Structure 1
Amino acid sequence: MLEKIRPLVEEVDFKVHLFLKEMESEQFILSENLDDGFSSASLIKVPILVAVLDYIEQNKLSLYSELKIHSQNKVDFSVVTEQDLDECTLYELLVWMIITSDNSATNVLIDFIGMEKLNVYFNRIGLKATKLQRKMMDFERLQQGYDNVTNARDMAYLFTSIYEQTLLSEQYSNLVLDILSRQRVHEGLKRYISGDVQMAHKTGSLDSVFHDTGIVYLDSKDYIIGVFTTQLSDVEAGKRLIGRISKIAYEYFGSNERRSSI
């Protein structure tokens, strides 16, 4: 597997950060640029998801409490904006934030917890390089040098914790996995996989980055994979690379069970 992935990484003209982790042994099988920071894009929505559920749990709130949606939080690329909703339940906001990467839902949830409190929570659970510094689609703040950032090591740690259900109660841990498993954006890790694979994952995209990271469930062996591409001149090239690496990993881990099922 390594001899197939390494040339793919070396031949591209953009930067690649990646990890592949077997969950049975919890060992990194492959890693590249684990500690180099980069723009998180919509990957930041995964720790926000966990943080909001922790807040709901700690404060004994209902998932079906409704939040007001103020006009300043309604931005493009949002089913919330498309529907011109004035209020929405916490549950709906969390689901839309992940499965369609809804930016309006994310902004409402950032206001619900508060940016500073979210960053305190990220640090408390062990995310050392992940920081929220702007709302979604706030390009003015981005131009001022404030971006949402993370690194591959933090994402590996976060998805390992989600897999092992160490951050939340069993009920809310299962909800996190359920929402991530309902992801509707499949341009990266699932791009070249023809099988009906179960994957709990999240993408992130901006003009010069494309990321996809998540948990892959197989009968033979579960694994966590993250591929993060930065300094892209062509976002589609990043998506294609992620798809190719993901297919190699899937074939490596799933070859035995596919043969036994034929």
Structure 2
Amino acid sequence: MKTRLFCLLLAALLALCACAGPQPSAAPSGSATPALLSPASGGELPEDIPEGLLETLNKRLNNQTFACALYYIDLTTGLTMSYNADRQFAAASLIKAPYLMYILDMVAAGELSLDDVHTYRKGYHYMGGTGKVRYMEDGTQLTLRQIIEYIVYDSDNVAFKMLNNGYDGVLSIPAFHDKAMRDYEAPYYSGTYGNVLTASGVGRMFAEIYARASRGDELYVWFVDMLKDANENKFVKGGLPTDENGECLYEVAHKYGMDIKSSNDAAIVFYNDRPYVLVLLTDYLLINTQGFMNRVSADVFAIHEYICDSSRWQN
């Protein structure tokens, strides 16, 4: 394979909860530089995988005028593929799904209840962007369950602020960052850049979301079901095969994020009995980033399909 081949990090899924290390620096905008090839451990790529599958993806990632990152995990074998996976990007609304993991953990621990009532105070909570809560009357009361649903289904900025603000919130972004660094080596806050994230950190946390739901954790089963119906499910999902009616053949649980200079998506793709996580980040916000993410998703799907059943590719 060529030297510009994106990094294949073959790491076991059990290594997801690594101890936190130093925060990676935020890189400047521009075309991304591929990481070095890493030694295999855990899952393995098939020896006969067509080089063209990997090279197509590699070229697509390297031929962009904007920075991008990718992180893929086969949730059955632990095989991962990554590209610029530890580079920090602006978080936008993608931060909301990993953040909610700790809210659900606080519910499970009895520190919070889904029936807890929170009051919308425009003076403290109002902000623009996506969502419906900002249009509600000042003093409107919402349960924690409702707030979580607004955050997941509508990516509601005000609902999110009701939980993370310093006036009457339940978990600040810096405190969430500290927990995520400790548990997943996943940065979410920078004193210089504000809310940030990495493809690898988000990927590890989405893998944990799947793992808990698959074990039957009721809170996480609920969470994954909501993520399947979350808004703007068109980035990773848009690159997957469809039926004759144009409907995607596979369920996708996802969270996206779009801001002034970011276009991100993280998804659990329920491919038959071999689901996988795919995280895509960019530092660019225009219509062609959706097309780019659709094409990368299609490339990754082809690789995953070959890994699962190479006979599909035989003449």
> Is 1:65 aligned to 2:116, yes or no?
yes
Bigger fraction of residues in helix: 1
Partner of 2:154: 100
TM normalised by structure 1 equals 0.83
Distance 1:216-1:250 versus aligned 2 partners, 3 A rule: same
Q: For structure 1, list consecutive stretches of 5 or more residues without a partner in the other structure.
A: 134-144
TM normalised by structure 2 equals 0.70
Find 2:288's aligned residue among 220, 237, 242: 237
Partner of 1:89: 143
> Shift of the alpha carbon at 1:158?
0.6
Residues 107-186 of structure 1 aligned to structure 2 (within 5 Å): 107-111=161-165, 112-115=169-172, 116-131=174-189, 145-165=192-212, 170-186=217-233
> Is 1:41 aligned to 2:92, yes or no?
yes
CA RMSD of aligned residues (A): 2.4
> Shift of the alpha carbon at 1:251?
4.1
Partner Cα separation in structure 2 for residue 169 and residue 223 of structure 1:
18
* 1:211 match: secondary structure: strand
Partner Cα separation in structure 2 for residue 73 and residue 132 of structure 1:
22
Q: Is the 8 A contact 1:207 1:235 kept in 2?
A: no
1:17-40 per-residue CA deviation (whole Å, 9 max, x = no partner) reads: 102221111111x21011111111
For residue 67 of structure 2, what is the amino acid of its counterpart?
Answer: K
Q: Is the 8 A contact 2:75 2:274 kept in 1?
A: yes
Partner Cα separation in structure 2 for residue 110 and residue 61 of structure 1:
14
> Shift of the alpha carbon at 1:148?
0.2
For residue 113 of structure 1, what is the amino acid of its counterpart?
Answer: V
Residues 194-233 of structure 1 aligned to structure 2 (within 5 Å): 194=242, 195-230=248-283, 232=284
Q: Is the 8 A contact 2:180 2:187 kept in 1?
A: no
Partner Cα separation in structure 2 for residue 68 and residue 127 of structure 1:
33
Q: For structure 2, list consecutive stretches of 5 or more residues without a partner in the other structure.
A: 1-52, 243-247
> Is 1:187 aligned to 2:234, yes or no?
yes
Partner Cα separation in structure 2 for residue 81 and residue 23 of structure 1:
38
* 1:221 match: secondary structure: coil
> Shift of the alpha carbon at 1:60?
5.2
Find 1:3's aligned residue among 51, 55, 58: 55
Instruction: Report the number of matched residues.
Output: 243
Larger radius of gyration: 2
